[in-house]
């Protein structure tokens, strides 16, 4: 209470000290308002950003003379001495800088206010406030229709993101227009890019099919990241974070500023370490980012490289529901029917651990992987209306996950039984590593024309992927007929991906804009060799897709518009769909028809948007419950399924100190007809039958009907911010049967964020941030899976086990940053 009183007194005293104010408008030299321009009085806490009309106001300033500084990416900074006594109005025009060429790099893949699609922009300021060491999905978790999860339970290590219920394999991700999704699995593994958030300037999320881009088809959303742009001024910064579960983040950055108004260089070195919330779910993550560029009047040449190395203790298995919500009798049923726990150590671990239970006990049960990225960008402005950009890229990834296996059969590794003293032994304890060694390379380009009425973009890319999958036994209790470095399985995947797209936005009148977009995409994929089940594979497919999109935006007035669009997306099956297909049947490609209808309003005090979406799928690939010969889940095409919903997003500036914002999604996510496959082993486990159960109008797994987020921000003085953030996620089904016994329970979370920035003599910036997650100490799970079988179908004897991923209770991250 005393601390709160002191803060209140301090706030009142500061507010009472100054009676003057500075206000005005910041525009470009073409008269366009510059949204988000930084305006501050150097060496003080007085700082603001311009609103959507380019307006700014700094109040309660003590009378005196200050150095005013104004900066905006892509424009030359302003700096001058300014006496302030009373209310002072100052309007400024900023001149375009050579850094403007950076924006050309991502122009072709971005939506804007004239584009009839649904999107959100996340600014560098928002990213910086929430960048305390957690992965990018957790930085984005408050944005509309997003649900995130963490294997380790605290947002460090393996994390995942779903948008509108769509999993990561259906979310297209690009960095500076370069595809990031894995070519075979279509997933994005943020753990391979630790602290990449520190090198990201801004992010755009397009929900639904979105506009054409490079890489995997967007079946839920696309996430476009733009890396840092060079500052006008040189600086060095150090940022250190510490938090719960022995979590540390150490980041060092260097920025040369613009040298001779032409050259700029940046570098970052990072380390993140955490014990994790889940037992033994530790992470040891290292990364770097280096970029350098030439910024001419019309030509920009930029090269960059970033790399990540992760060693993460595996916590992929999840926790049985009986462990979280049951008793010893329920746990004993897991032992008796699950068949996963047999040794004394495994049983002690199951019965004696708490919510932080981790199935794995071997001390090196780790994922060890490194990934190196290289990009080379060239952009050139031919005239005010015409520009182009091209890029070459190369990514190399290499690593393995290590597993201890108890009592595995020699035959599972292609080895002969071992005979000792006349006794034939057919199994042994061993340690194996499963490797992935891959290369991804290619090029992308775009040509962009813009005048007062017409915007045209032609772009595309050609990319190749070459990946090797193989396994090794690095230790065995009993040696068979194997040698060191022998590969007990070995196969490869080869993929060629070509796409070409054209986008047109035409201003038919002052109020009406028409949009058209068409993409042609060709994929050739082949995977061949011996799979980890020791069976030969020789499969793949050749696909050519036509993906049209069209729509219109109508401006009701300068502050509001309505839009509507219809888009078609097609995507090929992923590697596992080919490899695990029963009877060698090639899975069909999926098609998505996406309708978006929305309204947008934007003023200096308020923003609001509402949109209705319909995502209708044909031949969507979903899990059936069937297993292949080694127990892997099998997906199959379902004829008809859909996602339909409404998204509401708004924000309001109540006064100079308080702002509020929020988002709300209501949706229905259904499969018309679904066939569940369950195995029946008989009452005495002597039979083996496959049971098919038909379901109608069931919910799509992991697709909550309600997702909501909100925040309140209080800024009592310049540089100081308090944020209270909330997130609600509705009930999610673990499979496609709508079975109420197989759900992730709904949850509501509250987080708090305190941040403070100031300047001191000899320091450009001193910053503090404190994030307290899960203020209410809610026990909840954010992800899971389910499996089961019948032991007497006619008698109704069913064993079903749900496994969940518990998330941390109240925990914190504290960050201190110095900028010189």
pLDDT of residue 12: 34
pLDDT of residue 819: 93
d(CA 663, CA 707): 8
pLDDT of residue 43: 64
d(CA 543, CA 586): 12
CB 606 within 8 A of CB 623: no
Q: Provide the residue count of the chain.
A: 820
130-165 tens-digit pLDDT: 899 999 999 999 999 999 999 999 999 999 999 999
Q: What percent of the chain has pLDDT over 70?
A: 95
Helix H or strand E segment including 802: strand 798-806
Determine the average pLDDT of the residues in 313-318.
93
Residue 185 — φ and ψ, nearest 5°?
Answer: -90, -15
437-466 tens-digit pLDDT: 999 999 999 999 988 889 999 999 999 999
Residue 612 — φ and ψ, nearest 5°?
Answer: -110, 135
Burial 259-277 (b: 16+ CB within 10 A, else e): eeeeebebbbbbbbbbbbb
CB 694 within 8 A of CB 616: no
Domains of the chain: 2-96 (2.60.40.1120), 102-227 (2.170.130.10), 235-318+358-819 (2.40.170.20)
Q: Assign 16 a pLDDT band (cuts: 50, 70, 90).
A: very low
Q: Which two tokens stand for residue 42?
A: 């150097």
What burial class does residue 6 get, using C-beta atoms within 10 Å of its C-beta: 0-12 exposed, 13-18 middle, 19+ buried?
exposed
pLDDT of residue 719: 85
208-265 tens-digit pLDDT: 999 999 888 898 899 999 998 888 789 999 999 999 999 999 999 999 988 988 899 9
3-state secondary structure of 479: coil
With vertex at residue 319, the alpha carbon angle to CA 631 and CA 143, rounded to the nearest 5 degrees, is: 100
- Tell whether the model's pLDDT for residue 100 goes beyond 70: no
Q: Assign 107 a pLDDT band (cuts: 50, 70, 90).
A: confident
Q: Assign 45 a pLDDT band (cuts: 50, 70, 90).
A: low
Measuring CA to CA, which residue among 615, 514, 623 is closest to residue 569?
615
With vertex at residue 130, the alpha carbon angle to CA 377 and CA 179, rounded to the nearest 5 degrees, is: 30
pLDDT of residue 353: 94
- Tell whether the model's pLDDT for residue 10 goes beyond 70: no
| Average pLDDT score, the chain | 90
d(CA 415, CA 397): 30
Beta-sheet pairing, 159-163 with 146-150: antiparallel
Q: Assign 4 a pLDDT band (cuts: 50, 70, 90).
A: very low
100-109, 296-305, 337-346, range with the lowest pLDDT: 100-109
pLDDT of residue 633: 56
Residue 483 — φ and ψ, nearest 5°?
Answer: -115, 160
Q: What percent of the chain has pLDDT over 90?
A: 69
Residue 631 — φ and ψ, nearest 5°?
Answer: 90, 10
687 or 780: whose pLDDT is higher?
Answer: 780
Q: Assign 501 a pLDDT band (cuts: 50, 70, 90).
A: very high
Tell me the sheet residues that pair with 87: 21
pLDDT of residue 8: 39
* Residue in the block written with tokens 């009406």: 512
- Tell whether the model's pLDDT for residue 305 goes beyond 70: yes
pLDDT of residue 626: 54
Measuring CA to CA, which residue among 816, 777, 817, 812 is closest to residue 243?
812
Determine the average pLDDT of the residues in 599-613.
92
- Tell whether the model's pLDDT for residue 758 goes beyond 70: yes
E strands in 385-480: 386-409, 418-420, 423-425, 427-450, 454-476
């Amino acid at each position: 209470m005393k601390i709160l009183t002191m803060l209140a007194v301090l706030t009142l005293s500061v507010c009472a000290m100054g009676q003057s104010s500075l206000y005005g408008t910041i525009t470009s030299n073409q008269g366009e308002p510059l949204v988000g321009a930084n305006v501050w009085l150097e060496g003080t806490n007085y700082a603001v950003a311009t609103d959507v009309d380019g307006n700014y106001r700094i109040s309660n300033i003590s009378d005196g003379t200050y150095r005013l500084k104004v900066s905006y990416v892509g424009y030359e900074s302003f700096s001058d001495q300014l006496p302030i006594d009373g209310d002072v109005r100052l309007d400024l025009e900023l001149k375009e800088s050579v850094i403007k060429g950076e924006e050309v790099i991502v122009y072709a893949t971005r939506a804007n206010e004239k584009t009839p699609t649904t999107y959100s922009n996340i600014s560098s300021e928002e990213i910086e406030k929430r960048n305390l060491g957690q992965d990018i999905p957790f930085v984005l978790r408050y944005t509309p229709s997003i649900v995130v999860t963490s294997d380790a339970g605290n947002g460090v290590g393996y994390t995942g993101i779903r948008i509108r219920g769509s999993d990561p394999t259906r979310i297209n991700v690009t960095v500076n227009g370069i595809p990031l999704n894995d070519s075979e699995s279509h997933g994005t593994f943020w753990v391979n890019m630790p602290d990449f958030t520190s090198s990201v300037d801004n992010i755009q999320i397009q929900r639904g099919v979105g506009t054409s881009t490079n890489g995997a088809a967007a079946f839920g959303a696309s996430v476009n990241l733009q890396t840092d742009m060079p500052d006008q001024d040189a600086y060095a910064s150090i940022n250190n974070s510490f938090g719960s579960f022995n979590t540390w983040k150490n980041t060092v950055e260097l920025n040369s500023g613009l040298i001779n108004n032409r050259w700029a260089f940046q570098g970052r070195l990072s380390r993140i370490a955490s014990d994790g919330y889940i037992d033994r779910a530790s992470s040891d993550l290292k990364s770097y980012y280096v970029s350098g560029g030439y910024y001419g009047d019309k030509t920009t040449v930029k090269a960059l490289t970033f790399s990540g190395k992760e060693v993460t203790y595996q916590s992929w298995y999840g926790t049985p529901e009986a462990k979280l919500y049951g008793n010893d009798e329920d746990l004993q049923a897991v032992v008796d029917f699950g068949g996963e726990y047999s040794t004394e150590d495994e049983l002690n671990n199951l019965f004696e651990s708490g919510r932080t239970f981790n199935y794995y006990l071997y001390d090196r049960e780790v994922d060890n992987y490194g990934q190196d990225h290289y990009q080379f960008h060239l952009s050139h402005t031919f005239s005010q209306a015409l520009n182009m950009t091209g890029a070459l890229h190369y990514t190399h990834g290499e690593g393995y996950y290590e597993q201890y296996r108890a009592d595995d059969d020699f035959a599972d590794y292609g080895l002969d039984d071992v005979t000792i003293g006349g006794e034939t032994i057919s199994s042994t304890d061993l340690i194996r590593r499963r490797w992935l060694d891959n290369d991804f390379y290619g090029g992308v380009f775009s040509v962009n024309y813009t005048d007062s009425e017409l915007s045209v973009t032609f772009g595309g890319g050609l990319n190749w992927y070459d990946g090797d999958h193989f396994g090794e036994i690095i230790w065995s209790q009993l040696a068979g007929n194997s040698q060191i470095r022998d590969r007990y399985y070995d196969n490869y995947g080869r993929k060629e991906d070509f796409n070409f797209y054209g986008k047109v936005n035409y201003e038919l009148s002052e109020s009406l804009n028409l949009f058209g977009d068409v993409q042609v995409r060709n994929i050739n994929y082949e995977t061949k060799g011996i799979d980890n089940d020791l069976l030969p594979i020789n499969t793949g497919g050749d696909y050519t897709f036509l993906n049209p999109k069209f729509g219109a935006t109508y401006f009701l007035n300068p502050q509001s518009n309505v839009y509507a669009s219809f888009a078609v997306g097609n995507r090929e099956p992923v590697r596992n769909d080919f490899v695990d297909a029963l009877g060698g049947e090639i899975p069909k490609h999926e098609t998505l028809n996406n309708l978006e209808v929305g309204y947008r309003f934007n003023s200096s005090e308020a923003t609001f948007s509402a949109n209705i979406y319909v995502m209708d799928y044909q031949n969507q690939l979903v899990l059936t419950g069937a297993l292949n010969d080694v127990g892997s889940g099998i997906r199959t095409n379902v004829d008809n399924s859909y996602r339909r919903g409404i998204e509401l997003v708004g924000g309001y500036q109540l006064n100079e100190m308080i702002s509020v914002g929020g988002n709300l999604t209501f949706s229905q996510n259904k499969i018309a007809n679904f066939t569940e496959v369950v195995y029946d082993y008989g009452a005495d486990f002597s039979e083996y039958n496959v049971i098919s159960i038909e379901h109608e109008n069931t919910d799509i797994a992991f697709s909550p009907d309600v997702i909501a987020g909100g925040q309140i921000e209080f800024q009592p003085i310049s540089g100081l911010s308090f944020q209270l953030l909330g997130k609600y996620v509705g009930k999610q089904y673990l499979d496609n049967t709508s079975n109420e016994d197989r759900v992730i329970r709904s949850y509501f979370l509250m987080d708090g964020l305190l941040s403070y920035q100031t300047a001191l003599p000899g320091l450009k910036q001193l910053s503090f941030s404190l994030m307290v997650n899960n203020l209410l100490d809610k026990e909840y799970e954010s992800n899971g899976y389910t499996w089961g079988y019948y032991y007497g179908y006619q008698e109704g004897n069913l064993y079903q086990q749900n496994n969940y991923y518990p998330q941390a209770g109240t925990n914190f991250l504290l960050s201190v940053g110095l900028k010189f």
